[in-house]
């Protein structure tokens, strides 16, 4: 399969089209569409325009190609329902987005990425300690919320990539973290409505990057969850806000803490239980009360999700400095020239 064929197949699948449906749009048979996708037939410029119109995409989307990075997908978190074609499609999109980011970095001559410090971790207690050590290393007080987690991590040289959830195909994807060419990368969906969930996902994936786990008998996911909880809600901050021991917690306290630390009420309650500030009985009782009032998957107050501007800033800088063309900048960002110019006028907000 050649580059154009790969792009044709990826875009068709993203559009939820079968080979037969694509053939109907293009006035050709399903086997003919398959031959284009497999690279057995190379489309000429006229045929490329037909494909682009049928799939409602820019022609450049069918032509662009990047050097495929070597990724292992070892810290790839998904639920069991994400399988088959959707799983392979997601991995291909991630490879494409990572490759694009790495190319931009190379063009911009960014080669001074700092080496991330690793923390030995073989127990939940050590995961807790690792988060505090990391906070101390990046000069954050243990009673201070991390107000902008994405910006903090990007300043440390960690790449954050947000993936479009096309047609809700990837609802069961939770996140990915990996070193690619020795560069730390975190990948997550960009349509998470609650920033509290988004931040916990990022903190969890950071745990996969930072924790040096040698104990194969302990669940790595639990260690990363504890790391994330400790990073976002340090023990010292929790005690400072709620005290050492409580028989009950008011909803107002939980909402105020959520606003300040940008964490969910559910994760706060779990953290309070973990630290033995509230009992198992109190934890369950509070969960039941809140679920009864707001529903199991809903909470009062939504935290605005954070956004990464790093990739877009680099592309705009390269185009402004005439290192890449306007067309190349638009290709990187998946935009038309008008969209790109409007973004410049509106500062991307």
Closest CA to 173 of 164, 185, 160: 164
Tokens of 78: 């998904």
d(CA 80, CA 82): 6
Instruction: Give every CB contact of residue 229 below 8 A, 6+ residues apart in sequence.
Output: 131, 267, 270, 271, 274
- The per-residue pLDDT for 345 is 67
Instruction: Give every CB contact of residue 238 below 8 A, 6+ residues apart in sequence.
Output: 271, 272, 275, 277
- DSSP 3-state assignment of 220? helix
pLDDT digits (tens), the chain, 349 positions: 578 888 898 888 888 888 999 999 999 999 999 999 888 998 998 999 999 999 998 888 888 777 889 999 988 999 889 998 899 899 989 999 999 999 999 898 866 667 889 999 999 999 999 999 999 999 999 999 999 999 999 999 999 999 999 888 899 999 999 999 899 999 999 877 889 999 999 999 999 999 999 888 889 999 999 999 999 999 999 999 999 999 999 999 999 999 999 999 999 999 999 999 999 999 999 999 999 999 878 888 889 999 999 999 999 999 999 999 998 999 899 888 888 888 776 654 4
Angle made by CA atoms 11, 13, 15, in degrees to the nearest 5: 70
Residues pairing with 336 in the sheet: none
**83 φ/ψ angles, rounded to the nearest 5 degrees:** -140, 180
d(CA 308, CA 287): 33
Angle made by CA atoms 321, 324, 326, in degrees to the nearest 5: 95
Closest CA to 147 of 233, 264, 262, 271: 262
Tell the CATH topology of 3-63: 434 Repressor (Amino-terminal Domain) (1.10.260)
- The per-residue pLDDT for 15 is 85
Q: What is the DSSP letter of 68?
A: P
d(CA 70, CA 82): 22
d(CA 195, CA 112): 30
Domain boundaries, the chain: 3-63, 76-236, 310-346
Residues pairing with 211 in the sheet: 119
Q: Is 345 left (phi over 0), alpha (psi -120 to 50) or beta?
A: alpha
Q: Do residues 119 and 210 lie in contact, with contact meaning Cβ atoms separated by under 8 Å?
A: yes
Place of tokens 């410090």: 117
Angle made by CA atoms 106, 93, 110, in degrees to the nearest 5: 15
Q: What is the DSSP letter of 15?
A: T
- The per-residue pLDDT for 346 is 64
């Amino acid at each position: 399969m050649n580059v154009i064929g790969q792009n044709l197949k990826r875009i068709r699948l993203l559009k939820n089209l079968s080979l037969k449906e694509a053939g109907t749009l293009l006035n050709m048979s399903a086997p003919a569409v398959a031959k284009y996708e497999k690279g057995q037939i190379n489309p000429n410029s006229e045929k490329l325009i037909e494909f682009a119109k049928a799939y409602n995409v820019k022609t450049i989307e069918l032509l662009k190609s990047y050097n495929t990075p070597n990724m292992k997908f070892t810290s790839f978190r998904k639920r069991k329902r994400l399988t088959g074609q959707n799983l392979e499609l997601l991995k291909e999109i991630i490879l494409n987005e990572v490759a694009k980011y790495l190319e931009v970095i190379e063009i911009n001559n960014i080669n001074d990425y700092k080496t991330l410090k690793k923390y030995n971790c073989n127990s939940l207690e050590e995961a807790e300690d690792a988060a505090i050590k990391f906070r101390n290393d990046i000069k954050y007080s243990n009673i201070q919320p991390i107000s902008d987690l994405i910006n903090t991590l990007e300043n440390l040289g960690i790449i954050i990539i947000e993936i479009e959830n096309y047609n809700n195909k990837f609802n069961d994807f939770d996140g990915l973290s990996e070193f690619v060419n020795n560069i730390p990368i975190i990948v997550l969906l960009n349509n998470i409505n609650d920033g509290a969930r988004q931040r916990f996902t990022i903190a969890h994936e950071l745990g996969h990057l930072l924790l040096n786990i040698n104990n194969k008998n302990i669940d790595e996911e639990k260690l990363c969850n504890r790391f994330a909880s400790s990073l976002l809600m340090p023990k010292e901050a929790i005690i400072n806000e709620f005290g050492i021991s409580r028989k009950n917690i008011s909803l107002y306290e939980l909402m105020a803490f959520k606003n300040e630390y940008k964490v969910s009420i559910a994760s706060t309650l779990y953290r309070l239980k973990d630290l033995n500030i509230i009992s198992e009985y109190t934890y369950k009782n509070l969960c039941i009360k809140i679920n009864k009032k707001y529903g199991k998957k809903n909470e009062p107050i939504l935290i605005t999700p954070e956004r990464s501007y790093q990739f877009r800033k680099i592309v705009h800088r390269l185009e402004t400095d005439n290192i890449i063309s306007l067309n190349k900048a638009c290709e990187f960002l998946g935009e038309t020239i008008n969209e790109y110019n409007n973004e410049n006028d509106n500062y991307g907000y």
